[in-house]
């Protein structure tokens, strides 16, 4: 089954609501690997925030920062920093509005300001520390993804103002921002091409808005039970939640792993 590959989102998928890997998930992924199935991560996170997970699950293929930085079997196959001038124009408006940005690349995260309460709430949800503030980070360092922290009802104004960006809502306080046309799905396409995978042998698991395109870009898209109805309607199959063995259940359903007796 070496021609088969399975992609997993992290938060709300590989990790349960307590940001832990279930034993059933760990065992199922090990069984996939023992059978020669490729296992891969597809996430909005930057690599340095999930390197521990790759090590724990023995995964060395991933789509990170929503498709902006892609690695296949330990080799970087796609690396797409954002346009600094476009970021500058966004940063000026964000500062004027009293909102905040997180600047993200493959090794670091910096914030545009200190002590932003909504910023603390969003990063706290993901159990991440508030990043060091460096408002000019994008001027001297490559940035692959920007996360805007603002009230959801204000987000539409930014979307209208910056058509060169793709805005993907996150949690309850903003959105990940990417160059137009970039997504987990576009990152997956690089892996499928490099590995020579046939579409019918590809699977993906996810739960968030940034997983919607991914679920439609593979042979079988699986939505977690904890995903919103909006996300679930884009999936081929809806499994149990990330807290109730959802990954294991679906892998058994599609006969990729054996059911424990």
Beta strands in 4-137 (DSSP E): 5-8, 38-42, 62-64, 69-72, 75-79, 100-104, 109-111
CA 94 to the chain's CA centroid: 23
Catalytic residue flag (residue 211): no
* Residues sharing a CB contact under 8 Å with residue 254, sequence separation 6 or more, in sequence order: 203, 220, 237
Q: Which of 90, 221, 213, 209 is nearest to 161 (CA)?
A: 90
N-term to C-term CA, the chain: 23
Buried b or exposed e, range 112-147, using 16+ CB within 10 angstroms: bbeebebbeebbeeeeeebbeebbebbeeebbbbbb
Map 7-39 to HEC letters.
EECCECCCECCCCCECHHHHHHHHHHHHCCCEE
Q: What secondary structure letter does DSSP report for 132?
A: P
The dihedrals phi and psi of 189, each to the nearest 5 degrees, come to -60, -35
Residue pair 44/79 in contact (Cβ under 8 Å)? The answer is no
Candidate list 9, 11, 99, 245, residue with the active-site label:
9
Answer yes or no: are the C-beta atoms of 26 and 257 closer than 8 Å: no
Find the length of the chain: 261
**Catalytic residue IDs:** 9
């Amino acid at each position: 089954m070496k021609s088969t590959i399975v992609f997993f989102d992290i938060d709300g998928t590989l990790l349960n609501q307590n940001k832990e890997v279930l034993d059933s998930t760990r065992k199922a992924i090990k069984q996939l690997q023992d059978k020669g199935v490729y296992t891969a991560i597809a996430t909005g996170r930057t690599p340095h925030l999930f390197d521990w997970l790759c090590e724990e699950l023995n995964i060395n293929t991933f789509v990170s920062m929503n498709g902006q930085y892609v690695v296949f079997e330990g080799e970087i196959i796609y690396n797409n920093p954002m346009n600094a001038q476009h970021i500058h124009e966004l940063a000026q408006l964000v500062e004027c509005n009293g909102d905040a940005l997180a600047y993200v690349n493959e090794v670091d995260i910096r914030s545009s300001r200190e002590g932003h309460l909504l910023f603390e709430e969003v990063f706290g949800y993901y159990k991440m520390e508030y990043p060091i503030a460096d408002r000019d980070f994008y001027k001297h360092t490559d940035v692959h993804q920007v996360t805007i922290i603002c009230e959801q009802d204000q987000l539409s104004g930014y979307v209208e103002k910056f058509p060169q960006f793709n805005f993907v809502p996150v949690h309850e306080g903003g959105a990940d921002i990417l160059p137009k046309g970039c997504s987990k799905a576009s990152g997956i396409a690089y892996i499928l091409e490099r590995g020579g995978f046939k579409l019918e042998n590809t699977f993906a698991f996810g739960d968030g808005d940034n997983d919607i395109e991914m679920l439609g870009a593979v042979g079988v898209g699986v939505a977690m039970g904890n995903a919103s109805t909006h996300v679930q309607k884009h999936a081929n199959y809806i499994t149990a939640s990330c807290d109730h063995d959802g990954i294991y259940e679906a892998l058994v359903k599609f006969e990729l792993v054996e059911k424990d007796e």
